[in-house]
Amino acid sequence: MYDLSGKVALVTGAGGRHGIGRSIAVRLADEGADVVVTDVEASMTAIRPEDRQAGWAGLPSVVEEIESKGRQSLGLFSDVSDGVQVADMVAKTLDQFGKIDILVNNAGSRPGKDRVPVLELEEEAFDEVQRVNVRGTYLVSRAVATHMVNRGGGGKIINISSGAGKKGIARYAAYCASKFAVIGFTQAMAQEMAEHKINVNAICPGLVDTERVDFIASALAPVGESSEEFRAGMVQERAFRVPMGRIAQGDDIARLAAFLASAESDYMTGLSISVSGGSEMN
C-alpha cells in the first residue's frame, strides 16, 4: 500500500465502468487521496446496456464509489482538447480542493475511422486522434504543472501512453503516432520539471479489457461477423501472444499508477513503463 493521505488527484477520462481511468481513480482513493474525475459528456451515451441496467451512470457513479471509501470527490465534464474547458476544469478543482498533487492524463480518443491502412486514413480521422491524445495531454499537463510550479512542493504527472507508443502496428498509424508523441512529450517535460520536483512518467499498457476493446471490435469486425464474436476472438488471440497468458485488466494499470503517484517513485522520472504481461519488454 502507498500512503496518499492528504493528496489530491485529478484523473481524466474516468467515466467508464470498465475503463483504466476509473480503476486508477478508485485505487488512488483506496490509497487515501481525494480524487477529481473527468470525462466528456459523450461518454454518457457509450455506457453498455447491461451496465446501465445494473445502475451504472458513468461519471456520477465513479464519484459515488470514491466517496463510499471515505474520500472526497468531484466529477467534471470536460473536453481535454479544449483549452478553455481545461482551464475551467483546473479552476473548479482548485476552488474545491485548493491544490492538485497528482495528475493522470488518461483521456483518449475513441477508436473508429482511424483503424484503417494509412492509404485509407482520412485527415479528419488522423487529426481527431492527435487532438485528444496529444493536444489533450499537453493542455492538461501545462495547466496543472503551472499550478504545481507556482505552489511549490512538487507533484506527480502520469501520462497513459501505450505499447503502441513503442512499436508500430498496422492499421493503427494514427494511434501509434499519438502514443509515440506522448512518450516524447513525457521525456521532454520530465527534464523541464525535474528542478521543481515534479515527476513526469508514462504508463504503456498492452491490450486492456475495457470499453475501448468494444470500440476496436466494432471498427475492425469484418462483414458478416458480429462485433461481439470478433471481440472474443481478438481477446483470445491477443492473450495467446502474451507470455503471462491473458490481456490486462484495469487494476494492473492502476497498481503502477498508485506507485508512480507515491513518494516511492520520487527518484523516477521520464520513464515509459510497459504493463503488458511480457508482450512488450522495451
Active-site residue set: 175, 179
What is the secondary structure of the chain as a DSSP string?
----TT-EEEESS---TTSHHHHHHHHHHHTT-EEEEEE-GGGGGG--HHHHHTT--SHHHHHHHHHTTT--EEEEE--TT-HHHHHHHHHHHHHHHS---EEEE---PPPSTTSS-GGG--HHHHHHHHIIIIIHHHHHHHHHHHHHHHH-S-EEEEEE--GGGTS--TT-HHHHHHHHHHHHHHHHHHHHHGGGTEEEEEEEE-SBSSHHHHHHHHHHPPTTS-HHHHHHHHHHHHHHHSTTSS-B-HHHHHHHHHHHHSGGGTT--S-EEEESTTS---
Cell digits for 58?
458513468
Name which of 227, 245, 249 is nearest 236 in CA terms. 245
Name which of 174, 173, 180, 240 is nearest 207 in CA terms. 240
Cell digits for 215?
470500440
